[in-house]
Amino acid sequence: MKNKLIAVAFILIILMCPFSVGAQEKISVAVAANFISAFKEMAADFEEKTGVKVEGTFSSTGNLYSQIKNGAPYDVFLSADIERPEILQKEGWTEGSFVYARGKVILWSADKKFCKAATWQEALKVSKIKKIAIANPQTAPYGAAAKDAL
């Protein structure tokens, strides 16, 4: 059921874009790093249903945004925020955008003691954490959200 919903969502995203999928043999999609796994599932389903090849380029939203501003020929931009697509629209790079998903920042660890804590502050006290990795806050919206949370 989940895979069917993902495939339908991806097909809707593609069909709402201002180009004709039927006239193309492939489409190029700029994919924010947080969406890679879901994108791969959707792309495979889309290719199977339409026969159109889907090529993904994966990076942070900020890097993909810069590539688009410098002329990268993407057909679709799956951004991790709404700000950059809105800027691209205001500057005439696209005809429009819409929210395709909503996400949450999570704190994850393989340490089981860490997972029993009610808050991230408690988790840091329980585990002897020396480092926390987050995405680059300047180029990745989830990095900025993680920095704000910390």
Digit-coded pLDDT (tens) for 100-113: 878 787 777 777 76
pLDDT for residue 95? 86
Average pLDDT over residues 12-34: 71
41: left (phi over 0), alpha (psi -120 to 50) or beta: alpha
Of 137, 7, 18, residue with least CA distance to 81: 137
- Average pLDDT (51-69) is 95
Which residues, including other chains, have CB under 8 Å from residue 131's CB and lie 6 or more apart? none
Q: Most confidently modeled of 11-15, 102-106, 113-117?
A: 102-106
Residues β-bridged to residue 29: 56, 76
Q: Where are the domains of the chain?
A: 2-90, 112-149
Whole-model pTM over 0.85: no
- CA 146, CA 49: separation in Å to the nearest integer? 37
Q: The domain 2-90: what is its CATH number?
A: 3.40.190.10
